[in-house]
Structure 1
């Protein structure tokens, strides 16, 4: 084999290995429903990035689903509740509805109020940036937990409190029968005031300050965004995370949502419940989430992380051996 063919062979081999490794270390999102009611996750990709294949699906109590994100993906996730299908086949939800008329949101975002998980993968410095936001209000407890990542700010964030029960009447979204708060509006959504929306004269970090309403959210969920400029305590970063687990309700949350207004065709009779302890919160910015995941879940994630690194090392050894033989 002449030198030209050797170079081409090595290049082809390295390209194949590179593509293989890229597929192995893709970031995944695992959605887990620990609520005592069905949640329909919605997914919206940012403009200009390759989209995630699905834009919405159903997640029964106790179920989990994993989706793989394209390289450098960015977008948001949320949970829809109290969903049903009418006689014409139109699908809609009382909270978090995306207006598509179907389970798939097809490029539409969530109608507020809705708890949001926001991500930018492979951003500045190669880091993943993520947060849980209540800027558009709240409808369901949500926790984001990175698996296998590193960094001082690579930690669990979210809002595990049921804010619907504590929601002021002027922010409340009521169930169809008027007996229960099913979501909690932001002050911006409720009053459409520049002071609450951080717009106009209040459109800078210096002029837009926390309000009594945003502080209600912040006190309950110190790591979640409570208003537009709540960056310092609410943005988190990870290097080399292999998965982000998005959990709806970190422990079973019973409510009338389990039976009210939902389509029985899409609802299973499952009543399985998680035995996870309720995470403990300290109402400051150094709080620690405990009990969100059991030891077997953590061990599985770590084993996966070690396996991925082993595969990469094996590929490097294979490449080195091939080059030695060709030369």
Structure 2
């Protein structure tokens, strides 16, 4: 009797493990930048934990992570990272403040280009976007692969914006050249409620695009440029795996993008912006 009970426990465990694997989603994170990046991941308050919250990814390399099906959270890339004289790990852009390579529950310090995903949400759809609401530090592309429903359209910001960033928003690395390494949001730069969509400007009716958010929107038509930029910035797909590329080529091949299912009129990149 005891052996039968033990056998049933083992079978149940194997079945549960198989079911969990089937119900998981994969994120393949690819580094097309010419330098090492340190991706960071932050789970939502009610989301299950991930197998990693931060790691190094060398140029040309990729890493695939299994994500629980009901997960919601953010993903970004840190740049110009290393150990300080105090032995603490930190990054010039998008640091998560943990003092380690793993972010361990820390979010990206603005400015940072963010991938935001909610898996298996309303009607079983995944909701995903690339947000520049907290500023920008790297180009990013999200491609949904193998989806069964929803538009499943690629989205992102494929343009290098640090060089073209308005002077008031630039974040410079003091290294003799004062090279711009990130581009702040107007909210972070000025703290004005009009730019932050806060206080008297906390509704879609009172908070609209600004000249600063329009800089981001012009360059990257599908990315979130301010808090209420939902209509042209949120995409859906069901039962997909996701390819997340940092520093993708501006004219990414159709082989990577796949056939668009939503007929979205917005381009992935404003070609005029490429020459700024």
TM-score after normalising by structure 1: 0.73
Is 1:207 the counterpart of 2:202? The answer is no
Tell me the SS of whatever aligns to 1:146: strand
Structure 1 equivalent of residue 192 of structure 2: 193
* Structure 1 runs (4+) greater than 4 angstroms displaced: 12-19, 275-280
In the TM superposition, what are the counterparts of 1:82-231 in structure 2 within 5 Å? 82-177=80-175, 178-231=177-230
Deviation at 1:169, TM superposition (A): 0.6
CA distance in 2, matches of 1:289, 1:134: 14
Greater helix share, structure number: 1
- The RMSD of aligned alpha carbons is 2.6
Tell me the SS of whatever aligns to 1:158: strand
Structure 2 equivalent of residue 235 of structure 1: 234
Tell me the SS of whatever aligns to 1:215: helix
Query: Would you say the 8 A contact 2:125–2:150 is kept in 1?
Result: no
Greater strand share, structure number: 2
In the TM superposition, what are the counterparts of 1:282-321 in structure 2 within 5 Å? 286-289=265-268
Structure 2 equivalent of residue 29 of structure 1: 27
Q: Deviations over 1:118-140 (max 9, x none)?
A: 01111111111111000000000
Deviation at 1:88, TM superposition (A): 2.9
Q: Deviations over 1:294-320 (max 9, x none)?
A: xxxxxxxxxxxxxxxxxxxxxxxxxxx
CA distance in 1, matches of 2:225, 2:179: 23
CA distance in 1, matches of 2:44, 2:191: 25
In the TM superposition, what are the counterparts of 1:38-49 in structure 2 within 5 Å? 38-49=36-47
CA distance in 1, matches of 2:22, 2:244: 21
Deviation at 1:24, TM superposition (A): 2.6
Is 1:248 the counterpart of 2:255? The answer is no
Tell me the SS of whatever aligns to 2:244: strand
Query: Would you say the 8 A contact 2:75–2:116 is kept in 1?
Result: yes
Structure 1 equivalent of residue 274 of structure 2: none
Unpaired runs of at least 5, structure 2: 258-263, 270-276
Q: Mark the structure with the bigger radius of gyration.
A: 1
Q: Identify the range of structure 1 (166-175 vs 18-27) with the bigger mean alpha-carbon deviation.
A: 18-27
Q: Identify the range of structure 1 (195-204 vs 85-94) with the bigger mean alpha-carbon deviation.
A: 85-94
Deviation at 1:72, TM superposition (A): 0.3
Tell me the SS of whatever aligns to 1:217: helix
Query: Would you say the 8 A contact 2:152–2:237 is kept in 1?
Result: yes
Query: Would you say the 8 A contact 1:136–1:186 is kept in 2?
Result: yes
TM-score after normalising by structure 2: 0.85
CA distance in 2, matches of 1:87, 1:214: 38
Q: Deviations over 1:155-189 (max 9, x none)?
A: 11000001111101100000122431100000000
Matched residue count: 256
